[in-house]
């Protein structure tokens, strides 16, 4: 459960700031999608997953690309992108190794 916030009741300024927040978030989203660091990590992760000699199908590659794309959003940290792609990579690798 979330830790309750023990500060005083929100002031009028806080309330107004909250009401304006959604507009700010949209702007932030546009900016974050152009975040060069996240893009670089996404490219790096994909590069690692799709090195020549990997036995992944085209569908697997498309799925991995979609995962990385979906994670390159304002709320995804570099770690989130890497973890999700790595987990999926290991799942696919396990499936390939079983065949």
pTM: 0.30
Q: What angle do CA 61, 62, 63 make, to 5 degrees?
A: 90
What does the pLDDT read at residue 38?
64
Question: Over 70: is that where the pLDDT of 88 sits?
Answer: yes
Q: pLDDT tens, 27-41? A: 444 444 556 666 666
CA distance 90 to 82: 12
Helix 36-49 and helix 58-71, axial crossing angle in degrees, nearest 10: 160
> Coil, helix or strand for 37?
helix
With pLDDT > 70 as the criterion, what percentage of the chain qualifies?
Answer: 30
Return mean pLDDT, the chain: 64
Question: Over 60: is that where the pLDDT of 25 sits?
Answer: no
């Amino acid at each position: 459960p979330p830790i309750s916030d023990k500060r005083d009741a929100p002031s009028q300024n806080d309330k107004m700031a909250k009401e304006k927040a959604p507009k700010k978030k949209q702007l932030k989203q546009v900016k974050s999608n152009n975040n060069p660091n996240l893009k670089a990590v996404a490219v790096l992760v994909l590069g690692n997953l799709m090195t020549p000699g990997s036995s992944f199908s085209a569908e697997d590659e498309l799925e991995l690309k979609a995962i990385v794309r979906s994670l390159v959003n304002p709320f995804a940290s570099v770690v989130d992108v890497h973890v999700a792609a790595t987990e999926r990579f290991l799942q696919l690798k396990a499936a390939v190794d079983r065949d």
